[in-house]
Structure 1
């Protein structure tokens, strides 16, 4: 069945600097793990393979020299801006594949968290999970947690228990 895709309308469109192959490594080399193919024990798969001299960076095949940065065991693409897990630094992966960071401090009304898939310092109200303890209606108390209010709603504090993440 070799080459059936090219003989039908079921071809795969590959991104720049790559070609389709019916048998490529299931563990392709990438900027974050250049040795992956040599350690791969999985059978080959069909897909797009970077051309010689190129390697995966995210979903793109880039020249080796355009690989991004590894910082605290995480890979970042060139130009990517990120905040460290403890929100103590805001960093950027530079064109020279080095990481440039500046110190940051969350404000007194902020906590370190994730919002819209981005780590940073956010107002504590927007990251509060609120458990309503309907003290007047204990029959309504459920096990588990429910987001039932946000910073746009006012709630009497005597009727809730707040748990900060």
Structure 2
């Protein structure tokens, strides 16, 4: 019988001359993990990761394979509807949901299905030299001069002073240990967050919480101060030089400054006030100096 089976297997591989069902009955093969034997098995079987793939071997081989209504995953044959989804090197079962920014993604038969909400963007300023733009471009520059972190283009029919958030490193006198001062100019009002958690409206120190002219300032923890503006900008600042600036989706294409252009394109994040694009952090930061008298050498590229 072995001789018949070997000949029949060769014929099936080449041209399918013998019915595969007859072959299975006359020459049974044992397969594990709920697989079935076939003389015309693909060298690149369907898996949860892919249903169609380029296969370097176009012929057929004999062996165990998944039934036609199942796919291969980790050596087992499973229904495609139960395939897990992969994210950052981990597998999640079908039906599992994860958070992606402000959107929810649900695993559905091996594929992620995500909601498509427009999310807020965040600009980060960490320590005295680490920046991340709204478009998630990371760069380093120690801008000792006062610089503009963010300016937002006003509506064409608005003649108010432009909205800006400025930042300045202030030498505390202790081994060149810098503190960060934040100055917000909005609707003709100047709000200053000092290096030691003091908050000033103009030249007057104010107690928190404070609310006036579309500005809300309050402490959200022992070290963190939150500033909420009614134009959709929110700022968080702590006492160890960490600043987070959040903008709503309607401000897309309207921002400039050290936080970059909010348009999902990192290539133009180093745009200047004049509209030119700089090629490096030092040149970029120098174009956003608040005072022209501040010397270029104060910008220390790290």
Q: TM-score, normalised by structure 1?
A: 0.39
Q: TM-score, normalised by structure 2?
A: 0.23
Larger Rg: 2
